[in-house]
Amino acid sequence: MIRAALILALMAPAPTLGQSVAEPEAYREDLYRAPVPVALTDAVTIDADAAFALWKTGRVAFVDVLPRAPKPEGLPEGTIWRDKPRRSIPGALWLPNVGYGKLADVTHSYFQAGLEKATGADKDHPVVIFCLADCWMSWNAGRRALEYGYTRVFWFPDGTDGWTFEDFPTEVITPLPIP
């Protein structure tokens, strides 16, 4: 009897690990590492396999929006600070800090310039926006790209976590310098 119950339990569909989150009406402004919605209105939500297929075409821009860790305040003089290397999707353009809920004008300009560089200033060029799994930075940045007028936005909510889980290639990337 216990054995039959165990077999039935193992055959049952696995529970969804992620929580169902409704799309907010505005940008997310806190708790950026939390369950994200299943979709982004007017964008195409993709999984790792779809992201890999788009990447293999070589005709889609990939934009990584993982924030950059700030240098800790109060480091003793002479302390060497090294940023943690960012392993990402090969060829991706890293635009850190553009996924916050509120952006300074200079960060809006930086994001717009980065999207122009990634897409050749073609707002119809396909662009994949990503970060990590359960990272609102990519949802915010995808929404912002749509508001900037980009028409072919793909949102990859599993980001580099999903990418590396599938053992797809990665490389160390550096942020696009601020002009």
Contacts 24+ apart (CB under 8 A), 51-55: 51/89, 51/128, 51/130, 51/154, 51/156, 51/162, 51/163, 52/163, 52/166, 52/168, 54/126, 54/128, 54/154, 55/89, 55/90, 55/91, 55/128, 55/168
Phi and psi dihedrals of 94, rounded to 5?
A: -95, 115
pLDDT tens digits for range 79-88: 887 778 899 9
CA gap 100, 107 in Å, rounded: 10
* pLDDT band of 19, cuts 50, 70, 90: low
pLDDT tens digits for range 50-74: 999 999 999 999 999 999 877 778 8
pLDDT tens digits for range 34-43: 999 999 999 9
CA gap 149, 42 in Å, rounded: 11
CA gap 160, 114 in Å, rounded: 19
Please give the share of the chain, as a percent, with pLDDT higher than 70.
89
- Produce one character per residue of 44-70: b if its CB has 16 or more CB atoms within 10 Å, e if not: bbbebeebbebbeeeebbbbbbbeeee
Q: What is the pTM of this model?
A: 0.85
pLDDT at 7 over 50: no
